[in-house]
């Protein structure tokens, strides 16, 4: 029972919550009685057949460039595959029906005849790994379906199509080599058979009535696929190679290299149409994989499909995720393990991904035996018991068959499937690299052999399917097409591929900072707040939460004067749901919240059932959005990449990712650098992803103190000498009140543009008695304020007597305010920068105007001098506010915070003292 529960990925809820529908119980009834009887009657033969299914892959001829003999090479004999080991002899005869899924034979086969058949199936140019699959149903299906691949030859018309696609791919690479000899194109030479993968994938997608196919693919062969199969005009590629931008002149974009291009197109096969998305990819290999999963998930959300299907049906999702990997990168990059661990996790599963590993057998200059510690590049797949088929790149027909099998498996079981395409790389890491310096023997074999398209074409010529004139004509025709496209590149007008479909009505913002009314009538907010803690009859809530969460929230709402952080968040989420926006919050234990503050997802203490109160509120409103709480695996890189993928496809969803502690974002630095902060300027790909990064110096030492806001500020394109506008690539805020947080969340969706947002989020402020807001702070007409003036100004602090103006941000304000009140300091004003980027120049100027006699301007922060906002604030303040500003804070340091509590207290006291006195 325990193993079954673990395999089923049982969620807390048997009823399902938004974004997770319970999977049906298995209807498998076991192997048919007649088949079992046949196996029992031929037990030794069946043991021998099972040995081939388990070990045959070790002898398979899947390497097209074998240059050294290994332990289990073809031609050797594994003891597990010797029929004599099972008490069988050469004269024994057996009827394979019921033992193998092969066509009926006229008469029983001798053991040598059966051995020849088994070797052809399991030790030929294709093989499968089955031994690690625990599910009997899956093993039985996989063995039968795999063996059926060998029943009948492929029709000649299809073989001609495969040859044509591969020859066109080869012609494309040859054309570029001549016309652009100094350009790195990362061609498909040596892996042209991947065309057979896409060819069969598209045919299956049409047959299965898929709506969307979302592909994540790295550089290798990408331009070949785009131009040969995906409808991208070669003129676009040639224009880029000639040094021109890929976007229209009015696009605010810095552009990218051609091998990072994407496509979005409708594909029609056999009279049926589906939408294809191949994503932009950075040079960081495999980083696009979780993004493709997130985008596929967003498509499912848009269609009410798969995990979001609330109709009660169990139809497999009509959105397919495809991931193409490199052989060195797949086992070498940890992001792939993270992605696999998300494969069947609620709120992250996409109901099965089809994987193709383009196995060059060398990564950059690293030979395979030094690129991993496993036999196969695909061995990570075994961690989730995903089937693996290994194929020799010289056999595109078997690759096509394996692709159909993968699609059928995914349709039936909703799980991942891997194809390991063993091929080679004709040149080095790129076409300008000489690989013989580091891999001379391997490349001696590669350079001596024919290309994969030529090998396959010669096979078809031998079979009478093609003749040499056909082959020459295909290549010549494509060369002529490419020549015409090269001549037309100067007239090619880049297409406007952005702000269409679901992005219609949105735009890139301008150079001004706009103000958006995000206030809401408190009568509605009061209703939302009460609904956020309303539970169904009979729900057994934790007694501590009844008192500290539910009763306390109801009291705050009724009073309307002390709205805390978690309540403000619930009001923001609930009000967006009422306006028809979806909200998705993911991260580690976000349902509860790292600091046990949120409790947006409650668990019945008796039944373990989950309940999301805000979704119950929205259930009665047909046009309302839904709240998806995605408690994630312990991952930052893959999970943040997944959420980015959701955000680029769902402009009408507020997508938030919360780090357990702010500094843990650095596990996702690749996603932040290559996608989040640069995706719009590279690819005209907007996103409104929100990162919530808990931050604050509380004596918890280095790894739980700082969200490293200085890194995000350094990654912005904010200007030091002229005011910022909404067009900055990344917005960074450090809100110090619940209402400010409320407004900044709502602003993300209300605006007519989308920008990623970093929220320097609180820890101690979640429960600080002074950190509260009143109902008036949420009223219609209110909005996020980039600067908060001193609330004591005009009361205990006379603006005309202020000698020092202290600028600060976030939590630090409350520490300074408490000390100022305790010491009755009246000549120091405290001004809060709530927005760091865009830098609020005019709002600061307006605030400083009242302190006419101030002679000292100070920036005070908890962080060390080489951290925090100081280096960002200083040049902007001095250049645009035309005043010198002094620093008060901790000195420079190599680590975020000290690990000795006494030192921490001493430093904190010194910061306060130097700021106020």
pLDDT digits (tens, 9 = 90+) for 94-145: 999 989 998 888 899 999 999 999 999 999 999 999 999 999 999 999 999 9
Mean pLDDT of all residues in 799-823: 97
Say if residue 653's pLDDT is above 60: yes
Residue 768: both structure tokens together: 């600080």
Q: How far apart are CA 414 and CA 94, in angstroms?
A: 36
User: Distance between the two ends of the chain, CA-based, in angstroms?
Assistant: 68
| Confidence bin at 407 (pLDDT 50/70/90) | very high
CA 719 centroid distance within chain: 30
Q: How far apart are CA 917 and CA 913, in angstroms?
A: 6
Query: Burial code of 878-897, b = ≥16 C-beta within 10 A, e = fewer?
Result: eebbeeebebbbbeeeeebb
Q: How far apart are CA 170 and CA 153, in angstroms?
A: 25
Q: How far apart are CA 666 and CA 672, in angstroms?
A: 9
Say if residue 706's pLDDT is above 90: yes
pLDDT of residue 73: 56
Helix (H, G, I), strand (E, B) or coil at 758: strand
- Which listed CATH number (3.40.190.290, 3.40.50.11610, 3.40.50.970, 3.40.50.300) goes with 787-916? 3.40.50.11610
Nearest CA to 310 out of 612, 565, 626, 78 is that of 626
Provide the strand spans (E) within 190-254: 212-216
CA 84 centroid distance within chain: 51
Under DSSP, the state recorded for 548 is: I
pLDDT of residue 365: 84
Q: Give the H/E segment covering residue 322.
A: strand 319-326
In three state form, how does the secondary structure of 662-720 look? Answer: HHHHHHHHHHHHHHHCCHHHHHCCCCCCEEEEECCCCCCCHHHCCCCHHHHHHHCCCCC
Rg (CA), the chain: 31
Mean pLDDT of all residues in 774-779: 98
Say if residue 844's pLDDT is above 50: yes
pTM: 0.96
Per-residue pLDDT reduced to its tens digit, 16-73: 789 998 777 768 889 999 999 999 999 999 999 999 999 999 999 999 998 765 545 5
Q: What is the per-residue DSSP string for 844-891?
A: HHHHHTT-TT--EEEEEEEEETTSTTHHHHHHHHHHHS----EEEEE-
Say if residue 363's pLDDT is above 50: yes
Say if residue 420's pLDDT is above 80: yes
pLDDT of residue 621: 85
Q: How far apart are CA 603 and CA 592, in angstroms?
A: 10
Q: How far apart are CA 714 and CA 866, in angstroms?
A: 12
Summary mean pLDDT of the chain: 94
Nearest CA to 131 out of 200, 207, 50 is that of 50
What residues form DSSP beta bridges with 363? 366
Mean pLDDT of all residues in 728-749: 98
pLDDT of residue 7: 43
Say if residue 12's pLDDT is above 80: no
Mean pLDDT of all residues in 750-758: 98
CATH superfamily, domain at 156-470: Thiamin diphosphate (ThDP)-binding fold, Pyr/PP domains (3.40.50.970)
Mean pLDDT of all residues in 269-284: 96
Beta strands 582-587; 627-631: pairing state:
parallel
Say if residue 664's pLDDT is above 60: yes
pLDDT of residue 2: 35
> Which fold would CATH assign to domain 522-778?
Rossmann fold (3.40.50)
Q: How many CA atoms lie within 13 A of 71 on its CB side?
A: 3
Contact 632, 333 (CB under 8 A): no
447 burial class (0-12, 13-18, 19+ CB within 10 angstroms)? exposed
| Confidence bin at 275 (pLDDT 50/70/90) | very high
| Confidence bin at 312 (pLDDT 50/70/90) | confident
pLDDT of residue 652: 97
Distances (CA, A) of 43 to 46, 467, 737: 5, 49, 74
Within a 10 A sphere around the Cβ of 326, how many other Cβ atoms? 23
Q: What is the per-residue DSSP string for 764-805?
A: GGGT-TT--B-GGGGSTT----SEE--TTBTTTB-GGG--EE
Mean pLDDT of all residues in 852-866: 97
Domain ranges of the chain: 34-139, 156-470, 522-778, 787-916
Phi, psi of 841 (to 5 degrees): -55, -55
Mean pLDDT of all residues in 875-900: 97
Contact 755, 648 (CB under 8 A): no
Q: How many CA atoms lie within 13 A of 845 on its CB side?
A: 11
Mean pLDDT of all residues in 458-468: 97
Q: Do domains 156-470 and 522-778 have the same CATH topology?
A: yes
Least confident range from 199-213, 361-375, 378-392, 770-784: namely 361-375
Dihedral of the CA atoms 350, 332, 422, 425 (nearest 10)? Answer: 120
Contact 56, 127 (CB under 8 A): yes
Per-residue pLDDT reduced to its tens digit, 444-460: 999 999 999 999 999 99
pLDDT of residue 10: 53
Nearest CA to 199 out of 166, 175, 177, 222 is that of 166
Q: How far apart are CA 894 and CA 912, in angstroms?
A: 22
Q: How far apart are CA 55 and CA 778, in angstroms?
A: 67
Q: Give the H/E segment covering residue 409.
A: helix 396-413
Say if residue 699's pLDDT is above 80: yes
Mean pLDDT of all residues in 402-413: 98
Say if residue 76's pLDDT is above 70: no
Per-residue pLDDT reduced to its tens digit, 168-191: 999 999 999 999 999 999 999 999
Phi, psi of 227 (to 5 degrees): -85, -30
Q: What percentage of the chain has pLDDT greater than the value 90?
A: 90
What residues form DSSP beta bridges with 864? 890
Nearest CA to 672 out of 334, 216, 287, 299 is that of 287
Phi, psi of 789 (to 5 degrees): -75, 175
């Amino acid at each position: 029972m325990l193993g079954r529960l673990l395999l089923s990925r049982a969620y807390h809820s048997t009823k399902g919550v938004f974004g997770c529908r319970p999977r049906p119980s298995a209807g498998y009834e076991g192997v048919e009685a007649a088949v079992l009887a046949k196996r029992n009657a031929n037990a030794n033969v069946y043991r021998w057949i099972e040995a081939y299914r388990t070990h045959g892959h070790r002898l398979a001829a899947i390497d097209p460039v074998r240059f050294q003999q290994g332990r289990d090479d073809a031609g050797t004999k594994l003891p597990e595959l010797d029929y004599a080991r099972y008490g069988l002899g050469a004269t024994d005869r057996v009827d394979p029906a019921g033992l193998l899924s092969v066509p009926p034979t006229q008469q029983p086969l001798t053991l040598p005849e059966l051995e020849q058949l088994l070797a052809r199936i399991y030790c030929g140019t294709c093989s499968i790994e089955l031994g690690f699959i625990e599910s009997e149903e899956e093993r039985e299906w996989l063995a039968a379906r795999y063996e059926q691949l060998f029943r009948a030859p492929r029709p000649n018309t299809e073989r001609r199509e495969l040859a044509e696609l591969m020859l066109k791919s080869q012609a494309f690479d040859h054309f570029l080599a001549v016309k652009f000899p100094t350009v790195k194109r990362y061609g498909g030479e040596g892996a042209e058979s991947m065309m057979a993968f896409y060819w069969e994938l598209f045919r299956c997608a049409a047959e299965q009535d898929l709506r969307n196919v979302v592909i994540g693919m790295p550089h290798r062969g990408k331009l070949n696929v785009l131009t040969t199969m995906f409808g991208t005009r070669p003129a676009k590629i040639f224009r880029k190679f000639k040094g021109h931008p890929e976007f229209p002149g009015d696009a605010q974009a810095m552009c990218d290299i051609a091998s990072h291009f994407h496509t979005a197109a409708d594909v029609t096969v056999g009279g049926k149409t589906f939408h294809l998305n191949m994503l932009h990819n950075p040079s960081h290999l495999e980083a696009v994989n979780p993004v493709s999963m997130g985008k596929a998930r967003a498509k499912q959300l848009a269609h009410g499909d798969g995990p979001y299907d609330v109709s009660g049906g169990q139809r497999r999702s009509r959105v397919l995720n495809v991931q193409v990997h490199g052989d060195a990168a797949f086992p070498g990059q940890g992001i792939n393990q993270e992605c696999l661990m998300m494969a069947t996790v609620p709120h992250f599963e996409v109901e099965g991904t089809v994987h193709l590993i383009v196995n060059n057998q060398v990564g950059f200059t690293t030979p395979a035996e030094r690129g991993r510690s496993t036999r196969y590049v695909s061995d990570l797949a075994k961690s989730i018991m995903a089937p693996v088929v290994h194929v020799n790149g010289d056999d595109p027909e078997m690759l096509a068959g394996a692709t159909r099998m993968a699609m059928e498996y995914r349709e039936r079981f909703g799980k991942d499937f891997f194809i390991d395409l063993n091929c080679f790389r004709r040149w080095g890491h790129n076409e300008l690299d000489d690989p013989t310096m580091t891999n001379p023997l391997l490349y001696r074999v590669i350079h001596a052999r024919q290309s994969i398209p030529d090998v396959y074409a010669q096979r078809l010529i031998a079979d009478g399917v093609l003749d040499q004139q056909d082959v020459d004509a295909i290549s010549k025709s494509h060369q002529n097409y490419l020549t015409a496209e090269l001549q037309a590149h100067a007239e090619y007008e880049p297409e406007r591929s952005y702000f269409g479909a679901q992005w219609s009505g949105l735009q890139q913002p301008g150079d001004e900072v706009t103000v958006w009314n995000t206030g809401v009538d408190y009568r509605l907010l009061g209703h939302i707040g009460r609904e956020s803690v309303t539970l169904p009859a009979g729900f057994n809530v934790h007694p501590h939460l009844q008192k500290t969460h539910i009763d306390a929230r109801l009291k705050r709402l009724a009073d309307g004067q002390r709205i805390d952080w978690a309540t403000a968040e619930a009001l923001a989420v609930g009000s967006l749901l009422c306006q028809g926006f979806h909200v998705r919050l993911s991260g580690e234990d976000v349902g509860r919240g790292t600091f046990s503050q949120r409790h947006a997802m409650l668990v019945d203490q008796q039944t373990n059932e989950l309940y999301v109160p805000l979704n119950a509120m929205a259930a009665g409103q047909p046009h309302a959005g839904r709240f998806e709480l995605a408690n994630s695996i312990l991952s930052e890189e893959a999970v943040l990449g997944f959420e980015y993928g959701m955000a680029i496809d769902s402009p009408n969803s507020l997508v938030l990712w919360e780090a357990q502690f702010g500094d843990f974002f650095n596990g996702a630095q690749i996603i932040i650098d290559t996608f989040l902060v640069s995706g719009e300027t590279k690819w005209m790909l907007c996103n409104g992803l929100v990162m919530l990064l808990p931050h604050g110096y509380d004596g918890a030492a280095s790894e739980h103190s700082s969200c490293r806001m200085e890194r995000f500020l350094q990654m912005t394109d904010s200007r030091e000498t002229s005011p910022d506008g909404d067009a900055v690539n990344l917005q960074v805020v450090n809100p110090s009140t619940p209402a400010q947080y409320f407004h900044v969340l709502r602003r993300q969706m209300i605006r007519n543009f989308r920008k990623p947002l970093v929220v320097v989020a609180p820890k101690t402020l979640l429960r600080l008695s002074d950190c509260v807001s009143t109902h008036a702070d949420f009223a219609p007409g209110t909005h996020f304020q980039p600067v908060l003036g001193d609330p004591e100004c005009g009361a205990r602090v006379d603006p005309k007597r202020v000698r020092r103006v202290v600028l600060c941000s976030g939590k630090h304000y409350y520490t300074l305010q408490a000390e100022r009140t305790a010491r009755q300091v009246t000549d120091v004003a405290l001004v809060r920068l709530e927005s760091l980027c865009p830098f609020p120049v005019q709002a600061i100027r307006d605030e400083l105007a009242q302190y006419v006699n101030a002679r000292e301007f100070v920036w005070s922060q908890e962080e060390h001098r080489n951290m925090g906002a100081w280096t960002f604030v200083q040049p902007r303040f001095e250049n645009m506010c035309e005043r010198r500003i002094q620093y008060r804070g901790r000195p420079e340091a190599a680590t975020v915070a000290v690990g000795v509590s006494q030192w921490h207290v001493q430093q904190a006291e010194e910061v306060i003292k130097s700021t106020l006195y």
